[in-house]
Structure 1
Amino acid sequence: MKTVVVRYKVKPEKAEENQRLIQEVFAELGAKAPVGLQYLVLRLEDDSFVHLASVADNAPQLATFSTFQRFRRDAEARRLTAPESHSATIIGNYPSGDRSSP
């Protein structure tokens, strides 16, 4: 499983648009329920956004979803800072969302 954390800050006047586009991604993910994909997005009080994605080897990539493609299309125009991307290792996750194990 690959886990990536991405952080960036958007222009104050673009924060609501950025959030709406992200919510559309979650609506599509909820409708399609892809197996092996975990995705979390936080909006911080300074209009920074933090995305955490964990993708299993056989899971669809976020970039394959039409709403994520739309979110990324004009992302540079919404941002104040370039995205910082880091590989990460999950040490703990409660609840994990995986109910198959005891």
Structure 2
Amino acid sequence: MKRTLIRYKTKPESADRNAELIAGVFEELKAAKPAGVRYLSLRLDDDSFVHFVETEADSDAIPKLAAFQAFQSGIRERCVEPPLARGVTIVGNYRMLGEP
């Protein structure tokens, strides 16, 4: 499994639109039901967003989604702090994520 954490901060006037675009990604994921994909997105009180993505190592299911491509389009213009992606290792998990 490949695990990635992405964080960024949107402009206050862009935060709601960003959240709408993310919701579209989740709608398409629910419809497509790609295997080997787990995805969580959080919006913080300061209009920062955090995404946690877990995929099979060779999965490209998320980038192929039309809703994800729409979300990616203009992301840098919506941000005051651009997206920063990092690989992560789960150190502990109590009922938040599915069991490995």
* TM-score under structure 2 length normalisation: 0.89
Is the aligned partner of 1:37 residue 2:19? no
CA distance in structure 1 between the partners assigned to 2:27 and 2:2 by the alignment: 23
Structure 2 residue runs without a partner (length 5+): none
Q: Deviations over 1:2-32 (max 9, x none)?
A: 0000100000000000000000000000001
**Residue ranges of structure 1 left out of the alignment (5+ in a row):** none
CA offset at residue 85 of structure 1?
A: 1.3
- Asked whether the 8 Å contact 1:7–1:50 carries over to 2, the reply is yes
Alpha-carbon distance change, 93 to 53 in structure 1, aligned in 2, over 3 angstroms: farther
RMSD, matched Cα: 1.7
Q: Distance in 2 between matches of 1:93 and 1:64?
A: 31
Identity %, equivalent residues: 38
Using the TM superposition, give the Cα deviation of residue 60 of structure 1 relative to its aligned residue in structure 2, in angstroms: 3.6
Other-structure match for 1:73 = 73
Whichever residue aligns with residue 31 of structure 2, its letter is A
Provide the C-alpha distance between the structure 1 equivalents of 2:49 and 2:94, rounded to a whole number of angstroms: 20
Deviation digits for residues 8-65 of structure 1, max 9, x if unmatched? 0000000000000000000000001111100000000000000000001354431111
Aligned match of 1:18: 18
Structure (1/2) with the larger strand percentage: 2
Q: How far apart are residue 94 of structure 1 and its match?
A: 2.0
TM-score, length basis structure 1: 0.88
Structure 2 contact 34–61 (Cα < 8 Å) conserved: no
